[in-house]
Amino acid sequence: MPALKITANMLTIGRAGIEVIIGLLGILKGKLALKNVALLLIAVWFSDVASGFLARSLKVKIRDWIGEHDLYADMTVSTGVLYYLTSCRYILVGVGCAIFIISTVLMYHFHSIALAEDYRLSLMC
């Protein structure tokens, strides 16, 4: 596998891991971690752009599991940020739950293959 693809995959995996860090910062540091969470979110955005650029710059298109599930990494970060904002009371708990439920229903309703698959898998667990 080309080095560019490996780098793009590592950036995607790192993005998914940052979600856990953001959630833990909400639990352990609360509102004091806002600056760190903002910096992590900026790093996530840059890594998302970089991984997409690297994956598209390959002359030979290589499909792999990580590349096909890149959207999951983005969604886990979004969920982690929502959890952080809710746990620190920047967003009311009821509003945070409503955002999560409404977005899940909308994603399922509009039949996004990747998102609908994720929704079905979460129901099976």
The domain segmentation of the chain, as residue ranges, is 3-91, 92-125
CA distance 101 to 95: 10
At residue 59, the pLDDT reads: 74
- Give the model confidence (pLDDT) of 8-35 as tens digits: 889 999 988 898 899 899 999 999 999 9
Q: What is the pLDDT of residues 25-77, one digit of tens each?
A: 999 999 999 999 999 999 999 998 998 888 888 777 777 888 777 877 888 88
Separation of alpha carbons 30 and 23, rounded Å: 10
Tokens standing for 92?
């009311």
First-last CA distance in the chain: 33
Residue 73 is inside which H or E element, if any?
Answer: helix 70-87
pLDDT of res. 120: 47
User: What does pTM read for this prediction?
Assistant: 0.75
DSSP category for residue 61:
-
111: left (phi over 0), alpha (psi -120 to 50) or beta: left
Residue 104: its pLDDT value, please? 80
More confident call, 2 vs 119:
2
Whole-number pLDDT of residue 66: 82
47 to 11, 36, 38, 104, 107: CA distances (angstroms):
6, 16, 14, 25, 24
